Amino acid sequence: MMFRLTQAAAIVAMLFPAQDAIAQTYREAGDSKPFGCFDPVPPVTALAIPSRYKDDSKNRSEFDAEANAAVEAALNPLDDFINLLVKNANAALQITAPREVDPEASTSPAIDETQPDLALQTQIADCVVDRIHDWAAADALADIKTQGAQLSVPSRIAGLAMAYAQVRGLAIQDTRQPAIEAWLTARMQSSMAFFDNAAPPKSRQNNLRAWAALAAAQVGLLQNDTAMTTWAADSIKLVLCTATSEGALPNEMWRGKLALHYQIHAVAPLVVATALLQPTHPDLVASCDSALLRVVHFTLKAVEDPKLVEALTKKPQEFDPATEMKRAFQFAWLAALQTFATEPEFTAFAAKFEVLSNSKLGGKQSLLWPELDAKANAAKPQPTPVTP
């Protein structure tokens, strides 16, 4: 029987929009066409979105079709912009990235003695910096009008910051970088204040807080802002310390039939932020009795057997393992995970995917964590954060 599009499929599309374009990045980087920067994208200066869910959906698992369409229409310009930035940032990194070797290949690849085109790399990096600077100059995302918008913006700040971090040091150095970093800092400080003082109780400890933590980690590292990276680390602990002994996150299990989708959505920023913060906050992995590893183990097991989540939620999960495993972007965080945890289970799960890529996590993960590849061996690498 064909797997029909359900609310679960819709929620995946909402959480991880337009990923196919990002997965294409590494293939396009080698094209010999002359480079031309993409057209300027009008900055989103104000954002007002409603709740996606029906008023009577107490656990936020039933979409209101009209409201959901309005949310998508409001967020699509921002998400499309992030996709363009990440696509180009990845292309810049690809120019000097080590050539990937498939350890399962029967023959060694021919040696490529072509010198990397550093001038092209600078052009692409300048393109990304220019386009982000356009938004910084317009003070984009400063006018956040609704609670729904406040909750949706942090994951986008993470995507913007991670794209910028990739090219910051590759572009010509001038006044653009300080302006961008001041803008990202202001946006992040606003989000931090919201989560500390005005966010709904569950949102202060669920996947939304985790995405805010990732954004704070990346922006804080760009600025060497100890207060911001500490807030990020504390936020990660705040979410992780809610985990059950099995590794379930109660504030995601609360989502009923969509619980497993939201558990996966929470794990992504928790893992990547932890990887970024390892040099400054190495205690995160061990915090709350190694909660992060419990959460990851539970999540991967539940992906293969959703009944583990059904037993906790008492709700059948709208989650088809065969279908979801085709959406590798949901598991892009496995690359960052292996920079601090090299358990065979994690390596084997990552090896199921040809490419691990997610726009809000910076795109193609092997470019950001260069020692790793979806088919790499289990030798433990050192993390290479995307900050200079």
d(CA 29, CA 93) in angstroms, rounded, equals 9
Q: Which CATH code, of 1.20.1630.10, 1.50.10.100, 3.30.70.260, 3.40.50.2300, is assigned to 46-98+117-369?
A: 1.50.10.100
Q: What is the pLDDT of residue 114?
A: 81
pLDDT tens-digit map of 358-368: 999 999 999 99
pLDDT band at 101 (very low <50, low <70, confident <90, very high): low
Q: What is the pLDDT of residue 9?
A: 42
d(CA 338, CA 330) in angstroms, rounded, equals 16
pLDDT band at 291 (very low <50, low <70, confident <90, very high): very high
In this predicted structure, the answer to whether residue 30 has a pLDDT above a threshold of 60 is no
Question: Beta-carbon neighbour count of residue 283 at 10 Å?
Answer: 10
d(CA 218, CA 224) in angstroms, rounded, equals 10
In this predicted structure, the answer to whether residue 67 has a pLDDT above a threshold of 70 is yes
Query: 360-383: b or e for each residue (b if 16 or more CB lie within 10 Å)?
Result: bbbbbbbbbbebbbbbbeeeeeeb
pLDDT band at 341 (very low <50, low <70, confident <90, very high): very high
Helix (H) or strand (E) holding 160: helix 147-167
- Classify residue 202 by burial, with Cβ atoms within 10 Å: 0-12, 13-18, 19+: middle
Average pLDDT over residues 284-288: 98
Q: Hey, is 17 helix, strand or coil? A: coil
Q: What is the pLDDT of residue 100?
A: 67
Average pLDDT over residues 115-124: 96
pLDDT band at 5 (very low <50, low <70, confident <90, very high): very low
**Apex 58 CA angle, 64 and 358, nearest 5:** 60
In this predicted structure, the answer to whether residue 6 has a pLDDT above a threshold of 50 is no
In this predicted structure, the answer to whether residue 379 has a pLDDT above a threshold of 90 is no
Q: What is the pLDDT of residue 336?
A: 98
In this predicted structure, the answer to whether residue 136 has a pLDDT above a threshold of 50 is yes
pLDDT band at 26 (very low <50, low <70, confident <90, very high): very low
Q: What is the pLDDT of residue 387?
A: 41
pLDDT band at 371 (very low <50, low <70, confident <90, very high): low
Average pLDDT over residues 304-333: 97
Q: What is the pLDDT of residue 160?
A: 99
d(CA 10, CA 327) in angstroms, rounded, equals 13
- Classify residue 282 by burial, with Cβ atoms within 10 Å: 0-12, 13-18, 19+: exposed
pLDDT tens-digit map of 162-171: 999 999 999 9
Q: What is the pLDDT of residue 22?
A: 42
pLDDT tens-digit map of 210-247: 999 999 999 999 999 999 999 999 999 999 999 999 99
Average pLDDT over residues 85-105: 85
Q: Concatenated DSSP letters for 266-333?
A: HHHHHHHHHHHTTTT-TTTTTHHHHHHHHHHHHHHHHHH-THHHHHHHSS--S--HHHHTT-GGGGTT
Amino acid identity, position 89: A
Q: What are phi and psi of 364, to 5 degrees?
A: -70, 115
In this predicted structure, the answer to whether residue 24 has a pLDDT above a threshold of 50 is no
Contact 172, 122 (CB under 8 A): yes
Amino acid identity, position 203: S
pLDDT band at 103 (very low <50, low <70, confident <90, very high): low
In this predicted structure, the answer to whether residue 15 has a pLDDT above a threshold of 70 is no
Six-digit token pair at 380? 């433990």
Average the pLDDT over each of 23-32, 45-54, 246-255 and give the range with the smallest value. Answer: 23-32
Average the pLDDT over each of 17-26, 164-173, 182-191, 193-202 and give the range with the smallest value. Answer: 17-26
Average pLDDT over residues 74-88: 98
Q: What is the pLDDT of residue 1?
A: 32
Look over the chain and give the mean of its residue pLDDT values, rounded to a whole number.
88
